[in-house]
Amino acid sequence: MEDILNETCEQAVTRANKDAETGTLKSITYGLVIDPNFSLEYSKFREVYLISKYQIDSYEAGCVIIGNEECYADQMQLLIDEKYGENFFEEVEPEIRELYELFNSLSQNEIEDIIDFDYTYGYGRIDERADFKEGWEKLYEELHEKIDFSKLSFEPYEYDRIGIRVIVDRKGNIEKCEVVSMDFPEDIGALIEKTLTEIGNWKPATLYGYSVKSDNMLSFPLSMK
């Protein structure tokens, strides 16, 4: 985050080009968007379909623009225009609307043809989030049983909870685990990441009744008191 805050417009453009090389473009909208015909379910389907068929991650980023993120967004839009044409979103809208209206009548094979269930979806695009099978309290207990936090020093970290990012695959395995709280000791963070991965025992997230890979954020207590 600090790197993004301090980067120049030119650096933001370079970052956009590098991110696009991974295969997914981003369509980012800033500001307050008022649509009298807004439908949450249609909006989610539209986003998921654009990712699945066109590898475009489309989302609204709110009213606050961090650093030179507008340069990043503008470059991404330029790359989308170069690949699909300047009027792409207007032209693809009828296609998305038609499939949305037909979606509930599609067969399993037809649904799997239009939705990429192997993509890593964030919280806002899934129906049920990934969960530890025995519940969060049990997960916290198991981690504290395996790691005696009372004997560890977290300096210079001053808080009683940490943020942990966990990517859970379609089978419920932890594909990636990382402590994301700033100033948290790296060695203890690595121990927590390793232990959580070894504990496993997750239920995958679901989307339209299918298991999907998901990107999850946990707020984890450093004390069980």
Q: What is the pLDDT of residue 32?
A: 66
Model confidence, pTM: 0.82
Q: Amino acid identity, residue 114?
A: I
Q: What is the pLDDT of residue 7?
A: 87
User: Does residue 132 carry a pLDDT above 80?
Assistant: yes
Is 157 within 8 Å of 184 (Cβ atoms)?
yes
User: Does residue 94 carry a pLDDT above 90?
Assistant: yes
User: Does residue 147 carry a pLDDT above 90?
Assistant: yes
Interior/surface letters 131-157, b for 16+ CB within 10 angstroms, e for the rest: bbeeeeeebbebbeeebeeeeeebeeb
pLDDT bin (cut points 50, 70, 90) of residue 2 is very low
E strand map for 4-102 = 25-29, 56-60
User: Which residues neighbour 117 within 8 Å (Cβ) at sequence distance 6 or greater?
Assistant: 170, 207, 210, 211, 212, 213
pLDDT bin (cut points 50, 70, 90) of residue 33 is low
Share of residues in the chain with pLDDT > 90 (%)? 72
User: Does residue 1 carry a pLDDT above 60?
Assistant: no
